[in-house]
A and B are shown apart, each in its own frame.
Chain A
Amino acid sequence: MIKKEMIAMLLAGGQGSRLGVLTSKVAKPAVAFGGKYRIIDFPLSNCINSGVDTVGVLTQYQPLRLNSHIGIGIPWDLDRNIGGVSVLPPYEKIESTEWYTGTANAIYQNIDYMEQYNPDYVLILSGDHIYKMDYEVMLDYHKQNGAEATIAVMPVPIEEASRFGVIITDENHKIEDFEEKPENPRSNLASMGIYIFNWKALKDSLIALSNQPGLDFGKHIIPYLHEQKAPLYAYEFNGYWKDVGTLSSYWEANMELIDLVPDFNLYEEYWKIYTKSEILPPQYISGDSVIDKSIIGEGSVIDGQVINSVIGCGVRIGKGAIVRDSIIMNRSVIEEGCELYKAIVAEDVTVGTGSKLGIGDEVENETDPHIYNHGLVTVGEKSIIPPGVTIGKNTCIFGVTEAEDYPDGNLASGKTLIKAGEEI
């Protein structure tokens, strides 16, 4: 009989609406990160590096990019005869067909998938964090404690703790209580959304709570187990862990990669991060270019200035262009003489000759101030920006835009320009 000690379930169905137009066509875990990676590469690489070779990836929102990225799991060595990676979308049933209505509901709908591997433990992961973590060490800790469930936690500054689910433990890290985004947190241990469950405990609680609408791990499953007096433990993690759920945190996490010795070091031989590499050739830096403090992916051709930026694969930056403090994703083209300041440019974008992005004063965004802030210019995938326009700060552009979309060749700070047909 097939037997896997621990299998992983990776929640990758969320939209990640706070990433604005970056996630209008792709799920958050498929958003590019760090030049050549996608966010989901980090938990997937952690799995294989930890010896977890069976991973179910739960998809729901815009799964196309995710599906083609994962394929049969070759880049992560997750193409296995037994186990490997499986993409698990919601499916039709004889009665009560429904979408995944919550994190735990998604897992509940895939009990059969987990059952076939006869696991002792199930690892629950989310696809929206950047970190390197050995899940095997966490499993050892889980076993040592004789826990029914273990939650990975991270100490955060107490003033920031109110943004997280906070875990209160005794001196042995046994969980005593938890609070969801408390105003006055009693602890600085934030839940990282990473759980290890004993399979039986997880299965029983999923079935017991199956009628709960929007069944969620943090809100329902963990409190339920706690009520049942099941031993729950917190596993303290002290490495680099970054939530990239907002545009500003996404931008910051990318910028941290270009420090001289980054906190999150991709250059270590140990604990490699794997991804699907589509573009192989080396990058070409021409005689007219200036490069300073940047990382650049394969196959890019640089003719201009790249300063303090993260450039993806197959990007072209034309002569005389200036790219500063920006993120340019795969296959985008920045034509000659453009200037980009604090811009996030998604994949397959063209910025026309001489256009300037990120110019002017900081003005609050008129439509989504909680998304487009921090002085960033965000350009959605496959967008086209015509030549010679000027675009302000806290702006968002999505779709094939033309010169007439820019009154006086200008998109003022705080404006959102989304062309019809590109609904978000």
Chain B
Amino acid sequence: MRAIGIILAGGNNHRMKELSQNRAIGAMPIAGSYRSIDFSLSNMSNSHIQKVAVFTQYNARSLNEHLSSSKWWDFGRKQGGLFVFTPAMTADNSNWYRGTADAIYQNLSYLKDSHEPYVVIASGDCVYKLDYNKVLEYHVDKKADITIVCKDMDPNLSVDRFGTIKMNEESRIEEFEEKPLISKSSTVSCGIYVIRRRLLIEMIERCAEEDRYDFVRDILIRYKDMKRLYGYKIKDYWRNIASVDDYFSTNMDFLKPEIRDYFFHQYPDIYSKVDDLPPAKYNSGASIKNSLISSGCIVNGTVEDSVLFKKAYIGNNCYIKNSIILNYVYIGDNTHIENCIVESRGTIRANSYYKGENGVQIVVEKGDRYVL
């Protein structure tokens, strides 16, 4: 293979509200059985990138737990493998990762000790399928210094949480704005980059010398006119988990047959850690309409237009509508939940009532529960 991979999964995002109190965005559960980092990891594996580093920092416990074995994504290899880099104290540095470029700088030996000519950088908070080899081919064809994967968004939607790109007719990037309030373009950067390894080392070292820490601001935007930056447009499904609403709508997208077919039934597959849970069980009284149900669930009540993650228990006579129930949630009898995200490992008492009136409500109930 001609490239090594880097997945940036260290950041926090206050737009995720309570959901990021427990986990990094990379560990956000997606579509019943996955975590958001699975998409980038599986893309790496399916693109035959054998050596991948994940940079974690913020609230990394559940992400590290998810990455405790590399075999699920087929990275349990002698050649290459999966490397997880959390900030470490060294003789000459005791800082956290001060930014994405700093995270790479603090682990520069990973780049220096590799021999592959290219690096694919991706983020751990996007839901998509992409063959990075196609981006790499394009990168070589264009004789680019850096290739940025980008996507046209609906021009009516705000793009103020993305980096926006303007390209000329040859796809060379002319403008790159980070999180603009008003943007001249509705093409956004997907946070996926291809770059020559030696050039990346050079740029990162220079960045560090100048006490600059951010990959987008201090490398992409700063070098925009000096280096050849190209955009590679993707047309397929791509979502970034950047807010509670994004998170909710991305999960709900999986209730659409075309999205399910694209991710679940079309080659290549998305991989995830295997939990060895029994099949989902439906007792009498269960009624399910238009919902995704994961393994280990036990359903006694009504579930409509919802996503149940692993090992959710729905009590008798419950009504769950248009909601996301995360892993290991117990919902007591006669409970009504509508337009909600129920945080994982929650215990909802019997006879409760939750309804998101203006948008999605996040339900965090940490009752103690004796689990057999």
Residues on A close to B: CB < 8 A? 34-36, 74-75, 258, 260, 266-270, 272-275, 277, 280-287, 289-299, 306, 310-311, 313
A-B contact pairs, 23 of them (CB 8 A): A35-B278, A267-B281, A267-B296, A267-B298, A270-B372, A273-B276, A275-B276, A280-B33, A280-B34, A282-B293, A282-B295, A282-B308, A284-B292, A284-B293, A285-B288, A285-B289, A291-B286, A293-B284, A294-B281, A294-B282, A295-B280, A296-B293, A298-B294
Compute how far the CA of A313 lies from the CA of B274 in the bound complex, rounded to whole angstroms. 14
B274 touches A277 (CB 8 A): yes
Known contacts A280-B269, A280-B274; A295 and B282 CB within 8 A of each other: yes
Chain A residues positioned under 8 Å from B270 (CB to CB): 280
A286 touches B282 (CB 8 A): no
Compute how far the CA of A286 lies from the CA of B291 in the bound complex, rounded to whole angstroms. 7
B32 within 8 A of A: yes
B271 within 8 A of A: yes
Which residue in chain B gives the minimum CB-CB distance to A35?
Answer: B279
A291 touches B290 (CB 8 A): no
B304–chain A nearest beta-carbon distance, Å? 8
B157 within 8 A of A: no
B122 within 8 A of A: no
Contacting residues of chain B (281-325) with chain A, CB-CB under 8 angstroms: 281-284, 286-296, 298, 307-308
B215 within 8 A of A: no
Q: Could you count the A-B residue pairs with CB atoms below 8 Å apart for me: how many are there? A: 107
Chain B residues positioned under 8 Å from A258 (CB to CB): 281
Known contacts A281-B263, A282-B292; A296 and B33 CB within 8 A of each other: no
A277 touches B372 (CB 8 A): no
- Of A270, A290, A297, the residue contacting B279 (CB under 8 A) is A297
B91 within 8 A of A: no
Contacting residues of chain B (344-358) with chain A, CB-CB under 8 angstroms: none
B252–chain A nearest beta-carbon distance, Å? 13
Chain B 96-140 interface mask (CB, 8 Å, partner A; 1/0): 000000000000000000000000000000000000000000000
A345–chain B nearest beta-carbon distance, Å? 16
B260 touches A281 (CB 8 A): yes
B303–chain A nearest beta-carbon distance, Å? 8
- Of B288, B295, B296, the residue contacting A291 (CB under 8 A) is B288
Known contacts A266-B278, A280-B271; A260 and B33 CB within 8 A of each other: no
Known contacts A267-B281, A284-B260, A285-B288; A272 and B33 CB within 8 A of each other: no
Which residue in chain A gives the minimum CB-CB distance to B311?
Answer: A267
Compute how far the CA of A290 lies from the CA of B308 in the bound complex, rounded to whole angstroms. 17
B264 within 8 A of A: yes
B275–chain A nearest beta-carbon distance, Å? 9
Chain B residues positioned under 8 Å from A294 (CB to CB): 281-282
Compute how far the CA of A88 lies from the CA of B133 in the bound complex, rounded to whole angstroms. 41
Chain A residues positioned under 8 Å from B307 (CB to CB): 282
Known contacts A35-B279, A281-B33, A281-B260; A269 and B289 CB within 8 A of each other: no
Q: Given known contacts A270-B372, A274-B276, what 6 new A-B pairs fall within 8 Å (CB)?
A: A267-B281, A285-B293, A286-B290, A291-B286, A293-B282, A296-B279
Compute how far the CA of A311 lies from the CA of B286 in the bound complex, rounded to whole angstroms. 16
Known contacts A280-B272, A281-B33; A36 and B279 CB within 8 A of each other: yes
Chain A residues positioned under 8 Å from B276 (CB to CB): 75, 272-275, 277
Which residue in chain A gives the minimum CB-CB distance to B275?
Answer: A277
Chain A residues positioned under 8 Å from B298 (CB to CB): 267
Which residue in chain B gives the minimum CB-CB distance to A288?
Answer: B289
Chain B residues positioned under 8 Å from A74 (CB to CB): 71
Known contacts A282-B32, A286-B290; A296 and B71 CB within 8 A of each other: no
B32 touches A281 (CB 8 A): yes
Chain B residues positioned under 8 Å from A293 (CB to CB): 282-284
B313–chain A nearest beta-carbon distance, Å? 9
Chain B residues positioned under 8 Å from A281 (CB to CB): 31-33, 260, 263-264
B290 touches A282 (CB 8 A): no
B371 within 8 A of A: yes
Compute how far the CA of A268 lies from the CA of B281 in the bound complex, rounded to whole angstroms. 13
Chain A residues positioned under 8 Å from B291 (CB to CB): 284-285
B257–chain A nearest beta-carbon distance, Å? 8
Known contacts A280-B270, A285-B291, A291-B287; A267 and B278 CB within 8 A of each other: yes
Compute how far the CA of A272 lies from the CA of B296 in the bound complex, rounded to whole angstroms. 12
A295 touches B33 (CB 8 A): no
Chain A residues positioned under 8 Å from B294 (CB to CB): 282-283, 298
Compute how far the CA of A313 lies from the CA of B276 in the bound complex, rounded to whole angstroms. 13
- Of B272, B286, B292, B308, the residue contacting A292 (CB under 8 A) is B286
Compute how far the CA of A299 lies from the CA of B33 in the bound complex, rounded to whole angstroms. 10
Compute how far the CA of A306 lies from the CA of B272 in the bound complex, rounded to whole angstroms. 28
Per CB-CB distance, the 8 closest pairs between chain A and chain B, nearest first, are: A282-B32, A35-B279, A266-B278, A285-B288, A281-B264, A282-B294, A287-B290, A282-B292
Q: Which of B270, B271, B276, B291 has the most CB of A within 10 A?
A: B276
Known contacts A272-B276, A287-B290; A298 and B282 CB within 8 A of each other: no
Compute how far the CA of A282 lies from the CA of B279 in the bound complex, rounded to whole angstroms. 10
Chain A residues positioned under 8 Å from B288 (CB to CB): 285, 289, 291
Chain A residues positioned under 8 Å from B372 (CB to CB): 268-270
Compute how far the CA of A75 lies from the CA of B296 in the bound complex, rounded to whole angstroms. 17
Chain A residues positioned under 8 Å from B274 (CB to CB): 75, 277, 280
Which residue in chain A gives the minimum CB-CB distance to B292?
Answer: A282
Chain A residues positioned under 8 Å from B289 (CB to CB): 285-287, 289
Chain B residues positioned under 8 Å from A280 (CB to CB): 33-34, 269-272, 274
Chain B residues positioned under 8 Å from A295 (CB to CB): 278-282
Known contacts A274-B276, A281-B263; A297 and B284 CB within 8 A of each other: no
Known contacts A267-B281, A280-B271, A283-B280; A298 and B292 CB within 8 A of each other: no
A296 touches B32 (CB 8 A): no
A362–chain B nearest beta-carbon distance, Å? 27
Compute how far the CA of A193 lies from the CA of B339 in the bound complex, rounded to whole angstroms. 54
Chain B residues positioned under 8 Å from A283 (CB to CB): 280, 292-294
Compute how far the CA of A273 lies from the CA of B274 in the bound complex, rounded to whole angstroms. 13
B33 touches A282 (CB 8 A): yes
Compute how far the CA of A290 lies from the CA of B270 in the bound complex, rounded to whole angstroms. 29
Chain A residues positioned under 8 Å from B279 (CB to CB): 34-36, 266, 295-298, 310-311, 313
Chain B residues positioned under 8 Å from A274 (CB to CB): 276
Chain A residues positioned under 8 Å from B255 (CB to CB): 284
A269 touches B286 (CB 8 A): no
Compute how far the CA of A34 lies from the CA of B260 in the bound complex, rounded to whole angstroms. 25
Chain B residues positioned under 8 Å from A313 (CB to CB): 279
B33 touches A298 (CB 8 A): yes
Chain B 200-227 interface mask (CB, 8 Å, partner A; 1/0): 0000000000000000000000000000
Which residue in chain A gives the minimum CB-CB distance to B310?
Answer: A282
Compute how far the CA of A270 lies from the CA of B370 in the bound complex, rounded to whole angstroms. 13
Compute how far the CA of A36 lies from the CA of B279 in the bound complex, rounded to whole angstroms. 7
Chain B residues positioned under 8 Å from A36 (CB to CB): 278-279, 295
Compute how far the CA of A297 lies from the CA of B296 in the bound complex, rounded to whole angstroms. 9
Q: Which of A35, A270, A313 has the most CB of B within 10 A?
A: A35
Chain A residues positioned under 8 Å from B293 (CB to CB): 282-285, 296
